[in-house]
Amino acid sequence: MQDVAYGNRNRQPSTLTEMSFAIRIMSPCDKGSVMDILLDTPEFEPMEVPVAEEVMDAYLDNPGIDYKALVAEENGVIVGYICFGAVPLTIASWDVYWLVSKRGWRGRGVGHSLLTEAERQIKETGGYLVLIETSSKPAYLPTRRFYRNNGYRRASLIRDFYALGDHRITFAKRL
């Protein structure tokens, strides 16, 4: 399968253990590895992973129709995943539905590289607005910081959306 992009291509590794990885289009054979990453991500509630799997299956059944999905791969091991799609009934708005890096790979450029490639593809199709929803739970503070560090700004907050005290925060970025 052809690579889409390469992670860390223009960055010097920050540690001796940091390696480069390829960003490529997700294939059906990647599903098990992506599911393992999702299940091993403590921020995700048990009820969230089946929803991620439904979206993944919709992509795998009809790649590129409603969703696009990319993976980051290092020496045959999947280390990250992103799923995104055009928002129905909009001209050029897109949602990032899922973005996750394998534990042990966080902070090594996987999420940034996946998000950057998704943004490139969105812009290539004429998209200009990217939205990402996340939780206000304290465990998601690093996630919210990651979005801010990648140029996203808080666009909205809906109080008690997920549960009492757990607000939905929507981040937005114009490309």
**31-68 per-position pLDDT tens digit:** 999 999 999 999 998 899 999 999 999 999 999 899 99
Q: What per-residue confidence (pLDDT) applies to 2?
A: 39
- Domain containing 32 equals 3-174
pLDDT in tens, 87-102: 999 999 999 999 999 9
| pLDDT above 60 (res 5) | no
Which residues are CB-neighbours of 149 under 8 A, at least 6 positions away? none
Query: What's the CATH number where 155 sits?
Result: 3.40.630.30
Average pLDDT over residues 146-150: 98
Q: How much is the pTM? A: 0.88
**Domain total in the chain:** 1
Q: For residue 144, what pLDDT band results from cuts at 50, 70 and 90?
A: very high
